[in-house]
Amino acid sequence: MGNLGLSELLVIFIVALLVIGPRRLPEVARAIGEAVKSFQDAIKGTSKRE
């Protein structure tokens, strides 16, 4: 994940909270997680979602 420290992650979280809002943040985080998982599966050449 690189060299991100706690303070950088906290700033990113606060900015995301302000931009997206507290109600949609879990939904957006879940969608980003699924997209990353899908991207990793595509890179590996495996697809478990069908």
Q: Where are the alpha helices (DSSP H) in the chain?
A: 6-20, 25-44
Domain that holds residue 39: 21-50
Asked if 6 and 14 touch (Cβ cutoff 8 Å), the reply is no
Per the domain annotation, does 37 fall within a domain?
A: yes
Report helix, strand or coil for 20. helix
pTM: 0.60
Per the domain annotation, does 15 fall within a domain?
A: no
Per the domain annotation, does 30 fall within a domain?
A: yes
Per the domain annotation, does 16 fall within a domain?
A: no
Per the domain annotation, does 5 fall within a domain?
A: no
pLDDT digit string (tens) for 7-49?
Answer: 998 998 899 899 999 899 899 989 999 999 999 988 888 766 5
Residue 39 DSSP code: H
Per the domain annotation, does 9 fall within a domain?
A: no
Question: What is the tally of structural domains in the chain?
Answer: 1
Asked if 49 and 42 touch (Cβ cutoff 8 Å), the reply is no
